[in-house]
Structure 1
Amino acid sequence: MREDAVTPGDIAVGVIIGRTSEFFDFFVYAIASVIVFPKLMFPALAPLDATLASFAIFALAFVARPVGSIWFTGIDQKYGRGVKLTIALVLLGGSTAAISFVPGRDSIGVEAVWLLALFRLGQGFAQGGTWDGLPSLLTLNVPEGRRGWYAMIPQLGAPLGLIVASLLFAFFTSSLDSADFLDWGWRYPFFCAFAINVVALFARLRIVESPSFEKLYEERDLQTEAPLRTLAGEWRTIVIGAFAPLASFALFHMVTVFPLSWVHLFTGEDPTRFLVLEAGAAMIGVIAMVASGQLADLFGRRTLLAVTALAIAVFSGFAPQLLAQGETGAFAFLMVGFVILGLSFGQSSGAVAGELPLRHRYTGAALTNDLAWLVGAGFAPLVALWVSAHYGLLASGAYLLSGALATLLALWLNRELARGI
């Protein structure tokens, strides 16, 4: 029996594999939304309008994700977690691979845009089925006083995925001329995303389908429940849990996708240098994220989230303007931003959803995660770029400030509801 015991380290391995592959896929598409799809899909539009249209398609995956989560819950209940993950990985990998073969608008007309939108919806729908409950299982099996440390582990996938995606695109943008990159070079990162998704998801499938893990799911009562039943019983916790990480998610896009679009559109700088700079800043973010685990265990996760939300509010008042100050300003923006992001995003997952009763935890955590990404991430690049282009960079700071205020409000409501007030 001792050999079959599942440790938090075993669960953490599965979580890191899954989240890193998800975020790599996320950033491959996000980067392409800035430097590829505006020219490939909307060549007749002005660069700003083309990028905004590209970001609108980017958002489709986040709209489809909760729908996919609900549909795949039925598959999970009827056929089991393994079948659900298998279908999801085939659809996710197939949609990602299909994007790499989409021709440009100059080749087949507007149908190219519809194909890209269709495959992006497919990615989001499939993403809703990749929830395996491992993050929830991890939080239920951590040693006493180490919850903050283990809560940080799944979040490492974000900077790791960004580093690999940024450097991969930087390699192709620096090695190819513009024509070759737009013709075929951009497609290779999607091939890599497809391969990584398949390998990672099969690795997760092997973990969650093992007898030891199945037994642990049953012992912890982490079983699938009808989404409507979960929402009926725990809707307040799910809604508050979706808004609690809004500051982190808003900052997440303000230091990753948005600055790339701003620099690319308004400075004329080649994207290669900024991608390398962003990868370096993400490494600083990894260090800050690891530190967040220690700080959360010392002072509490909600306390750290509240403090970092205040830091994000301060950051919003001056930092966006740094992007207009050349390479030095962009460097300062990214370094400060990724330090705050590492501290906040490292503890943003499940801070409120962890309070769900066990019978609602598996499905409730999935719904909370889907809604959090929809509210905090889906339209963030589109909104931030639009307000900045029309009202100046200070307006993007106001958008970031709204996320910080939403987090502080959600944390306060969660505390008051816990008191029964």
Structure 2
Amino acid sequence: MAASVQPGSAGSRLNTREDADDHHVSPSDIAVGVIIGRTSEFFDFFVFSIACVLVFPARLFGFLGPVEGTLASFVLLALAFVARPVGTVIFMAVDRAVGRKAKLTASLLLLGTSTVAMGLVPSYDTLGWWAILIMAALRIGQGLALGGAWDGLPSLLALSVPREKRGFYAMIPQLGAPIGLFVAAVLYVYLLINVSAEEFIDWGWRYPFFVAFAINVVALFARLRIVASPDFDTMLTSSELNPTRIRPTLRQDGRGMVLGIFVPLASFAMFHMVTIFPLSWVFLYSNDAPELVLYSLMLGSVAGIGSIVASGYIADGIGRQRLLMLGALAIGAFALFGPLLLAAGREGATIYIVLGFILLGLSFGQSSGVIASLFGKRNRYTASALVSSLSWMFGAGFAPLTALSVASYLGLWAAGIYLLSGAICTIVAIRMARRSEMEITDE
């Protein structure tokens, strides 16, 4: 397994290039590219997700009640997660045919175009069902683009650093989630406190989508600066991180891919249970202003950043598998008492979000690296991309829809049981990986 660059290796020879047009790619360059890329993707995600609670029930589903309109908006939210694995398959074919640079450019342009177009969609009162269908099509476009945004940087980063620091570097891609949430929440809070409710629903909500497009452009150039460099291709090739065909990958690593879908399920389910679900619950079932919940989400995202960073040090100290198991057990316990906090008013909701983010960060911080560690180098690039897309679909795609549905009709305890099921899936998957000698390693 490749580690840090050694003298005489291909990476070392690349260091001696004198061609001014060649940009040497170091682990720090990869880390920066990963953070920028993931932040832009998660910012897009949270801009849409927050709008599913604050905007779309009124603009697109005003003919339904508040709860039903929010649930209908969560159906739109889920569409991208369903489309994401399809996008992975499509863009992997593009990668094999014309290269990573073309694939990444096309996918991020599709992502940015879909996002900015969402900010231009008229309301149901103006366009009728066409407004809903157009938004659904654009959401599918986002999902396809996210499936193609896989650039191999997380796997390459894990292979480019010393083994004893793999846990620390594995958490770096996950920092994009709380950072993206923080920026999205700040933007929405600014709009909510500076325009009236009518103005926000009429036109104010559009600005976050336009900002998302601008961030995507910056992220595209930052990532292309790395992906387009000769060093990047050489490092990927020397690490055998190349796009393989789907069928051979499934045939050779199918069992690992199935387990890989369920190993991070607890953290992916928790991801929505401490972000979009509490926002929707408080917005629908309390008199608190939405910006107050967004303040709590901002506080939670800061706690999440610290927790994700801590996961890197802890994983390097006790091992990734033990941390994942402990994280799943903690999430299972949170699933049982967390609903009591969420039902305890504003302070309880804030504790629910912050504590949930701390537990989330410890597991989520290692989820990307865990998926990659299940595969050998030959199929790691393709298998990691496809498994990540499928795991997000099963673990997070339907979480807001399911949690709000069962909580609204059965009570908050039912949402906790839903989260508990994800924790159980992770525990079982880790034990199965251990018994089948597919140990989750720090590689």
In the other structure, the counterpart of 1:76 is: 95
The answer to whether the Cα contact below 8 Å between 2:256 and 2:438 also exists between their aligned partners in 1 is: no
Deviations 1:275-315 (A, max 9, x none): 01210121011111111111000000110010011011111
Gaps of 5+ in 1: none
Name the residue aligned to 1:65: 84
Give the aligned residue type for 2:190: F
Look up the match of 2:6.
none
What is aligned with 2:41?
22
Aligned to 1:323: 342
**Which residue does 1:2 correspond to in 2?**
15
- Amino acid of the residue matched to residue 128 of structure 1? G
* Residue matched to 1:335: 354
Instruction: Quote the residue 1:282 is aligned against.
Output: 301
CA distance 1:394–1:36, shift in 2 (3 Å): same
Q: Which of 222, 229, 252 is the matching residue for 2:271? A: 252
| CA deviation string 1:88-134 (max 9, x = no partner) | 12211111111000000001111100010000001101111111000
Q: Which amino acid is 1:224 matched to?
A: P
What's the Cα RMSD here?
Answer: 1.2
Determine if contact 2:80/2:139 at 8 Å carries over to the other structure: yes
CA shift digits 1:357-382 (9 cap, x unpaired): 21101111100110110110110000
TM-score, normalized by length of structure 1? 0.98
Report the Cα distance in structure 1 between the residues aligned to 2:360 and 2:105, rounded to whole angstroms. 33
TM-score (normalizing by structure 2): 0.93
Classify the secondary structure of the residue corresponding to 2:369: coil
Counterpart of 1:158, as a letter, is A
- The answer as to 2:180 corresponding to 1:161 is yes
Identical pairs, percent: 53
Give the conservation status (yes or no) of the 8 Å contact 1:237–1:353: no
CA change 1:56–1:193 in 2 (3 A) is same
The CA distance in 2 between the partners of 1:270 and 1:365, in whole Å, is 40
- The offset of 1:203, in angstroms, is 1.4
Greater than 6 Å deviation, 4+ residue runs: none
Partners in 2 of 1:85 and 1:419 — Cα distance?
Answer: 31
- Contact 2:315–2:323 (CA under 8 A) maintained in structure 1: yes
Find the counterpart in structure 2 of residue 93 from structure 1: 112
Aligned residues of 1:352 and 1:414 also touching (Cα < 8 A)? no
Please show how residues 394-409 of structure 1 align to structure 2 within 5 Å: 394-409=413-428
Q: Is the 8 A contact 1:350 1:365 kept in 2?
A: no
Gaps in structure 2 of 5+ consecutive residues: 1-13, 18-23
Q: Distance in 2 between matches of 1:228 and 1:197?
A: 32
Q: Is contact 2:339-2:413 (8 Å) kept?
A: yes
Alignment of 1:229-378 (within 5 A): 229-378=248-397
Q: How far apart, CA to CA, are the structure 1 residues paired with 2:83 and 2:349?
A: 33
Q: How many residues align?
A: 420
TM-superposed CA distance for 1:3, in Å, is 5.4
Q: Report if the CA contact (8 A) 2:339-2:412 is conserved.
A: yes
Q: 2:127 aligns with which of 105, 108, 112?
A: 108
| Matching residue's letter, 1:76 | D
Question: How far apart, in 2, do the equivalents of 1:113 and 1:204 lie?
Answer: 33
- Alpha-carbon distance in structure 1 between the residues aligned to 2:393 and 2:89: 14
The structural deviation recorded for 1:321 is 2.1
Secondary structure (helix, strand or coil) at the match of 1:166 reads helix
1:168-213 deviation line (CA, Å, top 9, x unaligned):
1011011111110011100000001111112102211121110111
- Match status 1:138 vs 2:138: no
Q: What amino acid maps onto 1:298 in structure 2?
A: G
